[in-house]
Amino acid sequence: MKKAKVLFVCTHNSARSQMAEGLLRALAGDRFEVYSAGTESTSVKPFAIKAMAHKGIDISEHTSDVIDKYMHISFEYVITVCDNAKETCPFFPATEHQLHWSFEDPSNAKGDDGFILAEFGRVRDLIEKKIREYFKI
Protein backbone atom coordinates (compact mmCIF):
# COMPACT_ATOMS: atom_id res chain seq x y z
CA MET A 1 0.00 0.00 0.00
CA LYS A 2 1.35 3.41 -1.00
CA LYS A 3 1.84 5.85 1.86
CA ALA A 4 0.33 9.33 1.53
CA LYS A 5 3.01 12.05 1.52
CA VAL A 6 2.61 14.88 4.04
CA LEU A 7 4.68 18.06 4.28
CA PHE A 8 4.44 20.33 7.34
CA VAL A 9 5.66 23.89 6.70
CA CYS A 10 6.63 26.63 9.13
CA THR A 11 8.77 29.72 8.71
CA HIS A 12 12.01 28.40 10.22
CA ASN A 13 11.31 24.64 10.34
CA SER A 14 12.62 24.75 13.89
CA ALA A 15 9.72 23.88 16.22
CA ARG A 16 6.06 23.48 15.15
CA SER A 17 6.68 21.79 11.80
CA GLN A 18 9.39 19.60 13.34
CA MET A 19 7.09 18.50 16.15
CA ALA A 20 4.26 17.85 13.67
CA GLU A 21 6.57 15.72 11.52
CA GLY A 22 7.74 13.71 14.53
CA LEU A 23 4.22 13.25 15.87
CA LEU A 24 2.62 12.06 12.64
CA ARG A 25 5.53 9.75 11.92
CA ALA A 26 5.28 8.24 15.42
CA LEU A 27 1.48 8.00 15.39
CA ALA A 28 0.94 6.73 11.84
CA GLY A 29 4.25 6.23 10.08
CA ASP A 30 2.79 3.08 8.57
CA ARG A 31 0.23 5.23 6.69
CA PHE A 32 2.19 8.40 5.95
CA GLU A 33 5.55 9.46 4.55
CA VAL A 34 6.20 12.63 6.55
CA TYR A 35 8.44 15.63 5.90
CA SER A 36 8.84 19.15 7.23
CA ALA A 37 10.38 22.28 5.79
CA GLY A 38 10.61 26.01 6.27
CA THR A 39 10.46 29.07 4.13
CA GLU A 40 13.84 29.82 5.75
CA SER A 41 16.34 27.33 7.17
CA THR A 42 17.69 27.55 10.71
CA SER A 43 18.08 24.68 13.17
CA VAL A 44 15.78 22.58 15.32
CA LYS A 45 15.10 24.27 18.66
CA PRO A 46 16.47 22.37 21.68
CA PHE A 47 13.17 22.92 23.52
CA ALA A 48 11.29 21.24 20.64
CA ILE A 49 13.62 18.26 20.93
CA LYS A 50 13.07 18.12 24.71
CA ALA A 51 9.28 18.49 24.45
CA MET A 52 9.14 15.63 21.96
CA ALA A 53 11.45 13.49 24.10
CA HIS A 54 8.90 13.84 26.93
CA LYS A 55 6.48 11.99 24.59
CA GLY A 56 9.12 9.36 23.78
CA ILE A 57 9.72 10.73 20.28
CA ASP A 58 13.29 11.48 19.20
CA ILE A 59 13.67 14.35 16.73
CA SER A 60 17.25 15.13 17.73
CA GLU A 61 18.56 14.04 14.31
CA HIS A 62 16.05 16.17 12.35
CA THR A 63 17.47 18.94 10.20
CA SER A 64 15.92 22.24 9.25
CA ASP A 65 15.22 22.12 5.51
CA VAL A 66 14.14 24.81 3.08
CA ILE A 67 10.91 24.17 1.21
CA ASP A 68 12.66 24.41 -2.18
CA LYS A 69 14.11 20.96 -1.48
CA TYR A 70 10.62 19.46 -1.78
CA MET A 71 9.09 21.37 -4.70
CA HIS A 72 9.56 18.40 -7.06
CA ILE A 73 7.59 15.98 -4.85
CA SER A 74 3.85 15.41 -5.22
CA PHE A 75 2.28 15.58 -1.77
CA GLU A 76 -1.20 14.52 -0.80
CA TYR A 77 -1.07 17.05 2.05
CA VAL A 78 0.87 20.30 2.47
CA ILE A 79 0.05 21.79 5.87
CA THR A 80 1.31 25.17 7.05
CA VAL A 81 1.45 25.38 10.84
CA CYS A 82 2.19 29.07 11.25
CA ASP A 83 0.55 32.17 9.83
CA ASN A 84 3.71 33.61 8.27
CA ALA A 85 4.38 30.37 6.38
CA LYS A 86 0.82 30.41 5.09
CA GLU A 87 1.48 33.79 3.50
CA THR A 88 4.86 32.83 1.99
CA CYS A 89 4.42 29.13 1.22
CA PRO A 90 4.47 28.41 -2.50
CA PHE A 91 1.51 26.71 -4.10
CA PHE A 92 2.02 23.00 -4.74
CA PRO A 93 -0.11 22.36 -7.86
CA ALA A 94 -0.02 18.56 -7.55
CA THR A 95 -1.16 18.63 -3.92
CA GLU A 96 -4.57 17.20 -3.15
CA HIS A 97 -4.97 19.10 0.14
CA GLN A 98 -3.18 22.36 0.96
CA LEU A 99 -4.23 23.20 4.53
CA HIS A 100 -3.45 25.79 7.19
CA TRP A 101 -3.37 24.99 10.90
CA SER A 102 -2.43 28.03 12.98
CA PHE A 103 -0.42 27.35 16.15
CA GLU A 104 1.29 29.88 18.41
CA ASP A 105 5.07 29.97 18.17
CA PRO A 106 6.43 28.54 21.45
CA SER A 107 9.81 30.07 20.56
CA ASN A 108 8.33 33.43 21.58
CA ALA A 109 7.80 32.28 25.18
CA LYS A 110 9.63 34.32 27.78
CA GLY A 111 10.58 33.08 31.22
CA ASP A 112 12.70 30.42 32.82
CA ASP A 113 13.54 27.14 31.09
CA GLY A 114 10.72 25.31 32.85
CA PHE A 115 8.13 27.78 31.58
CA ILE A 116 9.51 27.75 28.04
CA LEU A 117 9.57 23.95 27.95
CA ALA A 118 5.97 23.90 29.20
CA GLU A 119 4.98 26.21 26.32
CA PHE A 120 6.64 23.91 23.80
CA GLY A 121 4.80 20.99 25.41
CA ARG A 122 1.48 22.84 25.27
CA VAL A 123 1.87 23.61 21.55
CA ARG A 124 3.07 20.03 20.91
CA ASP A 125 -0.12 18.74 22.53
CA LEU A 126 -2.30 21.05 20.41
CA ILE A 127 -0.54 19.82 17.27
CA GLU A 128 -1.01 16.21 18.34
CA LYS A 129 -4.72 16.79 18.98
CA LYS A 130 -5.18 18.34 15.52
CA ILE A 131 -3.26 15.50 13.83
CA ARG A 132 -5.32 12.86 15.64
CA GLU A 133 -8.58 14.59 14.74
CA TYR A 134 -7.79 15.35 11.11
CA PHE A 135 -6.16 12.04 10.20
CA LYS A 136 -8.50 10.01 12.47
CA ILE A 137 -5.69 8.39 14.44
89 forms beta bridges with none
Q: Per the residue annotation, which of 6, 7, 10, 78 is the catalytic one?
A: 10
126 is catalytic: no
Q: Residue 71 gets which letter from DSSP?
A: T
Q: Per the residue annotation, which of 24, 81, 82, 85 is the catalytic one?
A: 82
Q: Residue 66 gets which letter from DSSP?
A: B
Residue-number span of the structural domain to which 37 is assigned: 4-135
Question: In this model, does residue 71 exceed pLDDT 90?
Answer: no
| pLDDT one-digit tens code per residue, 18-70 | 999 999 999 999 999 999 999 888 999 999 999 999 999 999 999 999 988 98
Can you say how many angstroms the Cα of residue 128 is from the centroid of all Cα atoms in its chain? 10
> Which of helix, strand or coil describes residue 99?
strand
Question: In this model, does residue 125 exceed pLDDT 80?
Answer: yes
Q: Per the residue annotation, which of 89, 123, 127, 131 is the catalytic one?
A: 89
Neighbours of 94 (CB within 10 A): 10
pTM over 0.85? The answer is yes
Residue 96: what pLDDT? 76
58 with 28: CB under 8 angstroms? no
89 is catalytic: yes
| pLDDT one-digit tens code per residue, 72-122 | 888 999 999 987 655 555 555 666 788 999 999 999 999 999 999 999 999
Contacts of 36 (CB under 8 A, 6+ apart): 7, 8, 9, 10, 13, 17, 18, 20, 21, 62, 65
Number of compact structural domains in the chain = 1
CATH assignment of the domain containing 8: 3.40.50.2300
125 is catalytic: no
